[in-house]
Amino acid sequence: MEVEVKLWLENAEAHCMVTTSLAPFHIITHRQENLFFEGAAEELSSCHAMLWLRFYDDKARCVVSLKAKAVLVNGVSRVEEDEEDLV
């Protein structure tokens, strides 16, 4: 199970506070490149879905991801996600 936390930071000072607080726990940085896909008539977003390819660490790994059926309750979003490694 994966837990993803997204923070809405108001300014650079807030960002600095968060990164300073989390710095002792930093182990490794993964560089990512994301390519998002959408139909000409916005077929995916109209269904509240997202499709993308994610390349890790200078294309050492590639994953195709699909997120759909997000539900937001009390500020917490839960979403189905399917991921597959591409060889």
pTM here is 0.69
72: domain range? 29-86
Whether residue 76 is contained in a domain is answered as: yes
Whether residue 57 is contained in a domain is answered as: yes
Whether residue 53 is contained in a domain is answered as: yes
Whether residue 35 is contained in a domain is answered as: yes
Structure tokens at 2: 């994966």
Whether residue 5 is contained in a domain is answered as: no
In sequence order, the β-bridge partners of residue 51 are 37, 66
Number of domains in the chain: 1
Whether residue 64 is contained in a domain is answered as: yes
Whether residue 38 is contained in a domain is answered as: yes
What is the predicted pLDDT for the residue at 61? 92
Amino acid sitting at position 47: C
Query: In a structure prediction context, what are the per-residue pLDDT tens digits for the chain, which is 87 residues long?
Result: 667 778 889 999 999 999 999 999 999 988 999 999 999 999 999 998 999 999 998 888 999 999 998 888 887 888 889 999 997
Whether residue 6 is contained in a domain is answered as: no
Find, among 25, 76, 78, 75, the residue nearest to 48 by Cα: 78
